[in-house]
Amino acid sequence: GASGTQKTSVIYKVGQIVDIKGNGSVHKGMPHKFYHGKTGIVWNVTRRAVGVEVNKLVGNRILPKRIHVRVEHCSHSKCRLEFLERVTKNEKVKNEAKKNGTTVNTKRQAVGPRPADK
């Protein structure tokens, strides 16, 4: 069925990261099947559409492609949420360590090998 007005009332700004997902109930401004599921950066905003820059693998090179997609086929990407949460957590840990006069390692650590079964 037809999508609600919530999808069209979302505000997009230049520089934001968006996911492209073709919505079958809206045929206008639908992206090509290649771009379905791709993530890109907003470079242009119009009344009903969003210009998104997406990387496309062509042969042996990656080309930045600029496409316009209607807002019904876009959604804000959640790919940076984990990074931003980690940054705020690291800042808190650094401030606590500074107060205590200690040093702390805020780098992500690789998961080591599992212990052997005995």
pLDDT for res 4: 79
Q: Which of 14, 18, 10 is nearest to 76 (CA)?
A: 18
pLDDT for res 102: 93
Start-to-end CA span in the chain (Å): 58
Per-residue pLDDT of the chain (118 residues; tens, 9 = 90+): 777 788 888 999 999 999 999 999 999 999 999 999 999 999 999 999 999 999 999 999 999 999 999 999 999 999 999 999 999 999 999 999 999 999 999 999 999 999 998 7
CB 50 within 8 A of CB 17: no
